[in-house]
Amino acid sequence: MQNIVVRFCGDSGDGMQLTGNMFAQLAAEMGHEISTLPDFPAEIRAPQGTLGGVSAFQVELGKEVYTSGDKADVVVAMNAAALKVCALGSHFNHPQAHFDDDFSLFHRNAILIVDTDSLSDKDLEKAQFHTANPFEELGIPESVQIVPVALTTLTKEALKESGMDNKSVLKCRNMFALGLIYWLFDEPMEKAIHLLEEKFKKKPALVAPNTKVMVDGYNYGQNLALSVNQIHLSAEGGLGHTWKRSVNDSGLGHTRKRSSFTSIAGNKATAWGLIAAAEKAGKRLFLGSYPITPATDILHELAARKDMNVMAIQAEDEIAGVCTAIGAAFAGDLACTSTSGPGLSLKSEAIGLAVMAELPLVVIDVQRGGPSTGLPTKTEQTDLLQALYGRNGECPAVVIAASSSANCFDFAYQACKIALENMTPVILMTDTYLANGTALWRIPKLADLPAIQPQSVPEELKGHYNPAIRDARGVRYWAYPGMEGYEHRNIGLERDAEKGTISTNPENHEQMVLARKHKIEQIADQIPELKVINGQMVNEQMVNKDTLLVGWGSTEGHLHAAANELGCDLAHFNYICPLPKNTREVLSQYKRIIVCELNTGQFASYLRAQFPDLKIEQYNEIQGQPFAVERIVNFVKKS
Amino acid sequence: MEASQFKSDQYVRFCPGCGDHAICMALQKAMAQIGIPTHQVAVISGIGCSSRMPHYLNTYGFNTIHGRGGAIATGVKTSHPELTVWQMSGDGDCLAIGGNHFIHEIRRNVDLNVCMFNNRIYGLTKGQYSPTSPKGFVSKSSPFGTVERPFIPAELVLGARGTFFARTLDVDVPTTVDCMVAAQQHKGCSIVECLVNCVIFNNGTHAWIADREQRAEHSIILKHGEKMIFGANNDKGLAIEIDPQTFVPRLIVVPADDARVLVHDAHQQDPTLHRLLALMGQERNLEVAADVQDELPIALGVIRDVEAPTYDAAVNEQIQNVRASAKAHTFDELTATLEQWS
């Protein structure tokens, strides 16, 4: 069997994220490629057992894993509400809804493990069931293999001699389910136990009971010989799609013969990309930030990395987050700010200041559903136009996007490199899907990463320096406080192109607008050309060589999988402003160009503006969820 | 060092007669007296007349965006505590659009020297009322008079647990220089409220003490360790008494030779007396039509100057402490700590 999608779902308090992460990590350790999707409600704790409180974690594992999967093959449902949400998908609130292939989150032939102890009348009532038989009421097809397990009773049984109180015992239910899933996939218990010990390192008292429950869950599967066959995945060394793409596409080219792997979440990979870049550049990393979902984990990670000499400031607001970073950049640091869409709106004016003052600045936008407060925990690609244009005046900045949880590292690194070498703000776009999802990451060595040479200032300018003097590329020289003989005044006002002082001269303003524009455009010389990904023609009947799927950012995995099914090509963009130099050349080779995005067509409209002569179609979804590969394929086939 | 070393080559563009000219001159003098080399000084400003100041100083300077000078200065100082960082701001920049950054730089006690030019008006946008304009103030944006209650800056600073507050007057250059030097010597967030006259849009706003004939009677220059004495003939002193009915402490004017005359202690941690001193004479700034009979003078000089840990030092110290005991110090050492497999 090649790839399997597993979905853990339960109440917010059931520990589904932990369970799912542990399973994914062990799977990765066993050599499988993984891609994960945590899917949790915005409320920290919605009322227990209700539909609004369902938290889920999905992982696809196997070989050539492009996405976290459209639908699950194996489901663990910890309560009635989770069962309902999983069976009905986004229709869970419709009073008459039944299982429907278009909406259900699992396949017709899925294995469905359900805690039968959590299907009492009270549980069913909380989940808004009207009858005593939830399976019948939901219309779950007979082809779904339902595995009823008395999880709660069995967990209590496992811990009856532990002396723990009832509440603490119930918290271990998820480990019984995890043990059962480990049995299903025939994962080795020794490694699982080791992993559990690692996870509970800071709470040693919890190791023994959780281990006991997990092992009992495993043995339950083995001894009762459930009427389910174990699943055996072929693992081939883990040198899979995920890391290969991350290396090739970022243009970093850090190939190594011997590699080590780990699984990493996108936000952590982003934070570590910044850390690596700072060390490589010989700069101290400064982060000014303010808590905002789903970007906060970047602040958490960097606040914890004082060992790496990172200075991470939790500012009084989003504006102070970017402004403290601008202050640190003015003083010579590698300065960053991390946020999501609403925070990016608040930072707009200050990003304009960094454009005008020509200071290096990395702005990370972990996109979420908008507008306004929108869908804080869901994924979307709706900030692209804001990143490109959301500032007053002619205000160009570099915009790049990561396209996998693992390559968040590479593009965070690239963002720093471009900013420091070109004296410009760089906006790095990721999103909820990448930020919270995990993927297999090939751990690089610093020596193998490309050099970063921050802009500096020639010695001969000592005593004559001003902030308008540029090098041959059009990038201004960087001098900062502490450097003797380079004292100067930087400004957000327009400056004289020669003297660097305030100027309102009309011709000078135009000259400066064009100089700032040119500075961004010349960065196209530093980024890799666009490479087309050829679909692998899963279905030999369908070959669409005239068709090009186009995407950007986090959708790469889904679009790659769709291109494989369609037998067509994919052009996936990580560099958006400036675009790769060969963009027109690539696009113009295809009869059909279909830009697929999780918005109403922002990248499509950007491409149309750049290439008005090309006919550009678009496919869009705006549901706060990643693409479903199946829907993209259907759209292309039918249209 | 000489004041001239701190003058930039830029023509000073404040309006003729503007109080900012005197503050600029005092600042150059103070910087020379302090003697920190120009390349180790960064002057950060927001937007407003006051925020033009960096252009006239031959140090590192950054004239940024409206209200954000405090946040940017916090970034400069925290990332590079070895630098001397000044912030130039006005009553609009600091107390309205930048109010949040202002209270938080004070709360954190970032080691900044903040000159807050208070002319009770928006000058650069040509005459709108500000958060310090008295209630009833008629301006272009309040043609029928404002209905707002103003801030008393000192109260805001003390409310944010400020460690340093001084007040000075544009026309009193020696006191301004003294306050600026003291602000630099203070480790922490030093707020110097500079009362300046806007000759175009709010002429005479500080006339009560700015007029040479009245100044000695209407103001007192506080000096740490010295008796609180004022008046044209130095014949008046300040004492404190408790109202027997309400138990509220209040300052009173007594003869200079009265044994009750207070000695100024700027280093007292308890802000009660500092608050009373800073609020003297402020009622007349609260309403245009204020009918104030109060004989208390307006306090100038360093009112509060107390020690407290600074944010910038604490942040850097914490990093050094963690690094000292950490196992990993480089990226490769960090990745080696990961659970990994080949």
Residue A234 pLDDT: 62
| Cβ neighbours of B112 in A, within 8 Å | none
* Shortest CA distance from B62: residue in chain A: A490
**Which among A279, A333, A482 has the least Cβ separation from residue B83?**
A482
DSSP string of A117-151, one letter each residue: GG-SHHHHHHTT--SS-HHHHHT--TTSEEEEE-H
B338: in domain: no
**Which among B55, B79, B82 has the least Cβ separation from residue A328?**
B79
B340: in domain: no
Name the token pair of B114: 């903040």
Judged on CB neighbours under 10 Å (0-12, 13-18, 19+), A490 is: buried
Strands of the A361-367 sheet, one edge to the other:
A311-314, A285-289, A334-339, A361-367, A425-431, A398-401, A575-577
Residue B342 pLDDT: 67
Work out the minimum CA distance from B149 to partner chain A, whole angstroms: 25
Mean pLDDT, chain B, integer = 96
* Shortest CA distance from A350: residue in chain B: B65
Residue A49 pLDDT > 70: yes
Measured from the Cβ of residue B270, the count of other Cβ atoms closer than 10 Å reads: 9
Using CA atoms, how far residue A317 sits from A22, A567, B285, in Å, is: 35, 48, 31
Residue A545 pLDDT: 85
CATH for B295: 3.40.50.970
Residue A553 pLDDT > 60: yes
Task: Work out the pLDDT band at A258, boundaries 50, 70, 90.
Answer: low
For residues B341 and A263, what is the distance between their CA atoms, to the nearest angstrom? Answer: 10
| Cβ neighbours of A392 in B, within 8 Å | none
User: Would you say B296 and B281 are in contact if contact means Cβ atoms under 8 Å apart?
Assistant: yes
CB contact under 8 A, B100 and A480: no
Residue A32 pLDDT: 87
Residue A538 pLDDT: 63
Task: Work out the pLDDT band at A537, boundaries 50, 70, 90.
Answer: low
Q: Mind listing the pLDDT tens digit for each residue in B162-172?
A: 999 999 999 99
CB contact under 8 A, B64 and A483: no
Backbone angles phi, psi at A363, to 5 degrees: -110, 120
Residue B1 pLDDT > 80: yes
Residue A230 pLDDT > 90: no
Residue A542 pLDDT: 64
* Shortest CA distance from B57: residue in chain A: A489
Residue A406 pLDDT > 60: yes
* Same fold: A4-224 with A256-448: no
Residue A247 pLDDT > 60: no
Q: How large is the average pLDDT for residues A221-239?
A: 65
In chain A, what percentage of residues exceed pLDDT 90? Answer: 80
Residue A90 pLDDT: 86
Residue A639 pLDDT > 70: yes
Task: Work out the pLDDT band at A544, boundaries 50, 70, 90.
Answer: confident
- Give the structural domain span for B55: 3-224+265-275+291-313
B5 touches chain A (CB under 8 A): no
Residue B80 pLDDT: 98
Q: Mind listing the pLDDT tens digit for each residue in A590-605?
A: 999 999 999 999 999 9
Residue B197, helix vs strand vs coil? coil
CB contact under 8 A, A309 and B64: no
B160 touches chain A (CB under 8 A): no
For residues B300 and A344, what is the distance between their CA atoms, to the nearest angstrom? Answer: 43
* Shortest CA distance from A237: residue in chain B: B342
B280: in domain: no
Name the token pair of B233: 């003939």
User: Would you say A473 and A448 are in contact if contact means Cβ atoms under 8 Å apart?
Assistant: no
Q: Mind listing the pLDDT tens digit for each residue in B234-286?
A: 999 999 999 999 999 999 999 999 999 999 999 999 999 999 999 999 998 99
User: Would you say A425 and A398 are in contact if contact means Cβ atoms under 8 Å apart?
Assistant: yes
Domain boundaries, chain A: 4-224, 256-448, 459-526, 532-638
The CATH T-level fold of domain A256-448 is Rossmann fold (3.40.50)
Q: How large is the average pLDDT for residues A469-480?
A: 98
DSSP string of A208-261, one letter each residue: HHHHHHHHHHHHHHHHHT-SS--------TT--HHHHHHHHHHT-----SS--E
- Name the nearest CA neighbour of B140 among B207, B94, B197, B201: B201
Work out the minimum CA distance from B198 to partner chain A, whole angstroms: 23
The CATH T-level fold of domain A532-638 is Rossmann fold (3.40.50)
Residue A356, helix vs strand vs coil? helix
Cα-to-chain-centroid distance, residue B335 = 47
B313 touches chain A (CB under 8 A): no
The residues that bridge with A426 in the sheet, in sequence order, are A362, A398
User: Would you say B191 and B107 are in contact if contact means Cβ atoms under 8 Å apart?
Assistant: no
Using CA atoms, how far residue A596 sits from A91, A556, A579, B13, B341, in Å, is: 24, 10, 17, 54, 35
Provide Rg for chain B, Cα atoms: 22
Residue A243 pLDDT > 50: no
**Which among A315, A445, A482 has the least Cβ separation from residue B39?**
A482
Mean pLDDT, chain A, integer = 92
Name the token pair of B324: 């000292």
Task: Work out the pLDDT band at A540, boundaries 50, 70, 90.
Answer: low
Residue A318 pLDDT: 98
**Which among A262, A307, A349 has the least Cβ separation from residue B339?**
A262
Residue A310 pLDDT > 90: yes
Omega into B153 within 30° of 0, i.e. cis? no
| Cβ neighbours of B78 in A, within 8 Å | 311, 313, 324, 327-328
Q: How large is the average pLDDT for residues A541-560?
A: 90
**Residues across chain A:** 639
Measured from the Cβ of residue B306, the count of other Cβ atoms closer than 10 Å reads: 18
B314 touches chain A (CB under 8 A): no
The residues that bridge with A608 in the sheet, in sequence order, are none
Q: Mind listing the pLDDT tens digit for each residue in A517-527?
A: 999 999 999 99
Angle between helices A173-184 and A151-158 (to 10 degrees): 100
CB contact under 8 A, A501 and B55: yes
| Domains contained in chain B, number | 1
The residues that bridge with B57 in the sheet, in sequence order, are B7
- DSSP category for residue A89: G
For residues A218 and A240, what is the distance between their CA atoms, to the nearest angstrom? Answer: 29
Work out the minimum CA distance from B223 to partner chain A, whole angstroms: 34
What ipTM describes this predicted complex?
A: 0.97
> Does domain A4-224 fall into CATH 3.40.920.10?
yes
Work out the minimum CA distance from B337 to partner chain A, whole angstroms: 11
* Shortest CA distance from B80: residue in chain A: A331
Residue B87, helix vs strand vs coil? strand
